[in-house]
Amino acid sequence: MSKPSIYFGAGSILELGDLYPDREFHILRIPEISNVDMKKIRSSLKGRIVSEIIYQKGMPDIQSVQELHYDFWSQVNYENSVLLGIGGGSLMDTAKVLRFKPDGHDWLSRHLDVSIEDPTFTKMPLLLASTTSGTGSEVTPTATIWDFVEQRKHSFFGPQVLANVAIADPQLCVGAPWIISRDAAIDALSHALEAIWNRNRTEETTNLAIFAAKKICHYLPLLRDELDNLEFREQLSEAALSAGLAMAKTQTALAHALSYSETLTSQKSHGQSCAYWLPYVWQLLIQSNCGSDVLAFIDQAIGKSFATPTQMYEWLLDLGFLVHPPLERDKTVEERVNMVRFSARGKNFAGFSFNDE
């Protein structure tokens, strides 16, 4: 699968001025972007912005995204347009849907959980700029859409969902508060670890994931006391980008499979939901027959920070997360693991054996 054109580094958002010069820009963005940054973006695009939508919906649910999707296309001429999404994972996931022209209010519901592969679908070019250094959505061909009424998680995915351009400018992340920055970084860490303890791992994805995990474990605690430190933001942006590139190829595994019910029932952030399970899943991996190579890769990724899942557990507690104790076993948790064991994400986990299938 191809990947977007990637622009990385402080000030990379200014590359917009040279992109799609003959097209008008529609912007979907979070309200928290600073006036200074928006002034730079508007100046770079030199009057080519024709609409601007402020996204305040939180995690994208099917009802609100369908409504926004239809309203957006009722006012758009796609032939000379491009969509720019600036925000965190929820906004970027929403933008991935918005780029496609719907043929009715139920277009989204008809295209959930089936791969979007038809290149003839009418869609506009999509540019994504992250403001959180977390999900890596800017470089993945997947969006998560929630149905909180039916308590279901859906995927909007496929090669046609991938953005054309990904921008990782750490300056856009400087204003993010600690909790959002923390949750985003742990989301990226979970992507890195899930790419390593994954049956679909390759040498490339493992190297990307190790690189990302090392940076996150080192720089995230430092960021807590220096939220405006551009170097720390840049290191975490690079880590999230690398983790996203790895996860885009492997997809996620058991920790994510377990996390979805946390998000559905409590609407916790994705980072919080994954943090709850990471030490427990690592402990399951250790106790499995996954092979010494996987454990060696995990050690390369986080061994300098944690010798055991218990140490990771204590680190996450110190960062302010609620976390399941890795050595604690109870019937409810074991039943939950067994429920997701044969799900698509559960089957990716290298700690499970499926010889009995």
C-alpha pair distances (Å), 245 with each of 7, 143, 189, 213, 326: 14, 14, 13, 13, 28
Average pLDDT, integer, range 102-122: 94
Burial class (CB in 10 A: 0-12, 13-18, 19+), 203: exposed
The string of pLDDT tens digits covering residues 8-17 is: 999 999 999 9
pLDDT value, residue 329: 82
Residue (of 9, 312, 349) closest to 189 by Cα position = 312
Q: Which two tokens stand for residue 44?
A: 């770079």
pLDDT value, residue 220: 98
The string of pLDDT tens digits covering residues 22-50 is: 999 999 999 999 999 999 999 999 999 99
Average pLDDT, integer, range 105-124: 95
- 60 near 264, Cβ under 8 Å? no
Model-wide pTM > 0.75: yes
In this predicted structure, the answer to whether residue 356 has a pLDDT above a threshold of 70 is no
Cβ neighbours, 10 Å, residue 57: 13
Split at pLDDT 50, 70, 90, the class of 264 is confident
SS3 sequence of the chain: CCCCEEEECCCHHHHHHHCCCCCEEEEEECCCCCHHHHHHHHHHHCCCEEEEEECCCCCCEHHHHHHHHHHHHCCCCHHHEEEEEEECHHHHHHHHHHCECCCCCCHHHHCCCCCCCCCCCCECCEEEEECCCCCCHHHCCEEEEEECCCCEEEEEECHHHCCCEEEECHHHHCCCCHHHHHHHHHHHHHHHHHHHCECCCCHHHHHHHHHHHHHHHHHHHHHCCCCCCHHHHHHHHHHHHHHHHHHHHHCCCHHHHHHHHHHHHHCCCHHHHHHHHHHHHHHHHHCCCCCHHHHHHHHHHHCCCCCCHHHHHHHHHHCCCCCCCCCCCCHHHHHHHHHHCCCHHHHCECCCCCCCC
- 182 near 274, Cβ under 8 Å? no
More confident of the two residues 300 and 336 = 300
Report the chain's mean pLDDT, rounded to a whole number: 94
Burial class (CB in 10 A: 0-12, 13-18, 19+), 291: exposed
Percentage of residues in the chain having pLDDT higher than 70? 99
In this predicted structure, the answer to whether residue 357 has a pLDDT above a threshold of 60 is no
In this predicted structure, the answer to whether residue 1 has a pLDDT above a threshold of 70 is no
Average pLDDT, integer, range 243-267: 90
Q: Which two tokens stand for residue 224?
A: 């807590």
The string of pLDDT tens digits covering residues 164-215 is: 999 999 999 998 999 999 999 999 999 999 999 999 999 999 999 999 999 9
Percentage of residues in the chain having pLDDT higher than 90? 87
pLDDT value, residue 261: 80
Task: Delineate the domains of the chain, giving CATH numbers in brackets.
Answer: 5-172 (3.40.50.1970), 177-347 (1.20.1090.10)
Pairing mode, if any, of strands 126-130 and 165-168? parallel
Q: Which two tokens stand for residue 71?
A: 């309203």
User: In angstroms, rounded to a whole number, what is the distance separating the alpha carbons of residues 303 and 319?
Assistant: 18
User: In angstroms, rounded to a whole number, what is the distance separating the alpha carbons of residues 298 and 350?
Assistant: 12
The string of pLDDT tens digits covering residues 121-166 is: 999 999 999 999 999 999 999 999 999 899 999 999 999 999 999 9
pLDDT value, residue 355: 60
In this predicted structure, the answer to whether residue 340 has a pLDDT above a threshold of 50 is yes
The string of pLDDT tens digits covering residues 56-78 is: 988 899 999 999 999 999 989 88
- 186 near 135, Cβ under 8 Å? no
